[in-house]
Homo-oligomer: A and B are copies of this chain.
Amino acid sequence: MVVELISVGTEILMGNIVNTNAAYLAEQVNSMGLVCYYQTTVGDNEQRLTETVKTAMGRANILILSGGLGPTKDDLTKEVCAKVCGKELVEDKAWRQTIKEYFTKRGLKLTDNNWKQAMVPEGSIVLDNPNGTAPGIIIETEKNTLILLPGPPNELIPMFKASVVPYLQKKQEAIMVSQTVKIVGIGESAAAEMIDDLYEKQSNPTIATYAKVGEVHLRVTAKAEDEKKARKLLKPVIKELKNRFNEHIFTTDPEVTLEQSIVDLLVDNALTVSTVESCSGGLVAGRLINVPGVSEVFKMGHITYSNKAKRKIIGVKRSTLEKYGAVSEQVAAEMAKGGFGLSKADVTVSVTGIAGPDGGSETKPVGLVYIGCCVKGKTTVKEYHFSGNRAKIREATVAAALVLMRECVLEYISEVTFGKKEKR
C-alpha cells in the first residue's frame, strides 16, 4: 500500500519550525512496510490544500495529514478533507464532553470556537487525544483512507502509536515487524561489510543500516501474516547479528538510547560515575543526565576548561600540562585519575581536545581529542580525530566518550566475572 504524507501549516511552509513530524511519520510507515513516494507541505489555504489532497488521493491509498485541526478559522484540514470526500461535518457528542472535561480539569476558559473541534466528518473514526482537544480522524472512502492527525508532536506521536499503528496493521494483508539492533564501536561501512552475505541473500526479513552520530542502527524487518510469525522470522536473524556484533550491541530496544543503556549498565552493576570535561564543556554529563533516574549513579561532574581549573580542581600536574600540553594523552589520563580520586566514583570519564575553529596547530589540529576513562583506578586513554565545525566535533566527542566509557565498564565487568570464575 502506498502512503502519502501531507503537512499542513503556514509555520512549516514559512520555515518557522522544522518539520519533524514528516520524518517521524515517514520512518514509522516505512518500518511497517508501507511505501511512501511523496511528502508535501502546504499552508492553511483552502484551494491549495484541496488540490494537494485530490492529487494525493489519485496516487496513494492512504493519506496521512498532520496539522490544521485547531480551533481557529485558519484550521481547515478537517473541513477540506470532508468536502473532498463528500462528507458532512456532524457533532461528535462524546468528543464535546471530552473537550468540556479537558477545560474544566485544567481550569481553563472554554471559548465558542473550541466546539469546532467536536465536529467530525460523518461516519469517520474518531481517535482519542490524551494531550489536546483536537481528536484524530480517519475518513474511509471507496478508494482511499485519510488519516488526520494534530500538528503538535506531543499529540501526534502518542496518537499515532496508540491508534494509527493498530489501524494500519489491521488493513495490511501481511504485517511487518521491525527490530533494531543498535551498535557502537564499528563504523557504518565496516558494519555493512560484516553482514554483506546476509544482505545478499535477504528477502524476508530484510536488513537496513542507518548511521547515527557514534552509532549504527541495523533494522531488521520481517513480513508475515501475523505478528507471532513475523517475530519467529526475525529471531534467527537477530541471533546471527548478536553473534557477529556481540559486545558492540548496546540495545535491541528502539526506545533505548546509548546513554540509557550505559546508565542501566551502571545501575545493574552498582557502579557510580563522574565526569571531567574540557572541550565537551559539560555535554557528556548533560547526555548522561538525560536519563531519568541517573541520580542513583551520577556523583559529580567538572568542567575544567582552563589549565588552572585542571590543576586546582582535578590536580593535573603543572609539569604535565607544560610538557605535553592540555590536549594530550597524559593530561586526559590525569584528568580521569584526578576526577576518580576527587569524586570517589567507580568510573570517571575525561575529555580534552580542540573543538576549533581556533586553537589548532600542525601537530595538534582542530578535531584532535583525547578521551580517558578510569574504572576503579585503571585508566584507558584513546586518541580521536574528528572533522567538521565546532558543534560537529563536540557532538562526535560526546558520543565517543560514552562509547569508550561503555567499553571500559564492560571490560571491568568481564574481568571481575572472569576473576571470580578463576577463583572457583
What residues of chain A have their CB less than 8 Å away from a CB belonging to chain B? 12-20, 22-28, 30, 36-43, 45, 48, 52, 154, 210, 275, 277, 279-286, 288-290, 292-295, 298-306, 308-309, 313, 343, 356-359, 388-391, 394
Q: Report yes or no: B281 in contact with A289, Cβ–Cβ below 8 A.
A: yes
Distance in Å: Cβ of A136 to nearest Cβ of chain B? 19
Q: Report yes or no: B282 in contact with A300, Cβ–Cβ below 8 A.
A: no
Given contacts A15-B22, A37-B45, A154-B389, contact A299 B295 (CB under 8 A): no
Task: Give Cα A173–Cα B52 distance, bound, in whole angstroms.
Answer: 31
Task: Give Cα A12–Cα B27 distance, bound, in whole angstroms.
Answer: 9
Distance in Å: Cβ of A332 to nearest Cβ of chain B? 17
Q: Report yes or no: B299 in contact with A308, Cβ–Cβ below 8 A.
A: yes
Task: Give Cα A37–Cα B9 distance, bound, in whole angstroms.
Answer: 10
Of B30, B280, B292, the residue contacting A390 (CB under 8 A) is B292
Task: Give Cα A303–Cα B52 distance, bound, in whole angstroms.
Answer: 51
Nearest chain B residue, comparing its CB with the CB of A308: B299
Q: Report yes or no: B313 in contact with A305, Cβ–Cβ below 8 A.
A: no
Distance in Å: Cβ of A209 to nearest Cβ of chain B? 10
- Could you pull out 18 A-B pairs where Cβ atoms are within 8 angstroms? A13-B36, A15-B22, A15-B24, A15-B27, A18-B20, A38-B40, A281-B282, A281-B290, A282-B301, A283-B286, A286-B286, A290-B391, A292-B358, A295-B306, A298-B305, A299-B306, A300-B302, A303-B303
Task: Give Cα A308–Cα B300 distance, bound, in whole angstroms.
Answer: 9
Distance in Å: Cβ of A174 to nearest Cβ of chain B? 19
Q: Which residues of B contact A279 (CB under 8 A)?
A: 289
Q: Which residues of B contact A390 (CB under 8 A)?
A: 290, 292
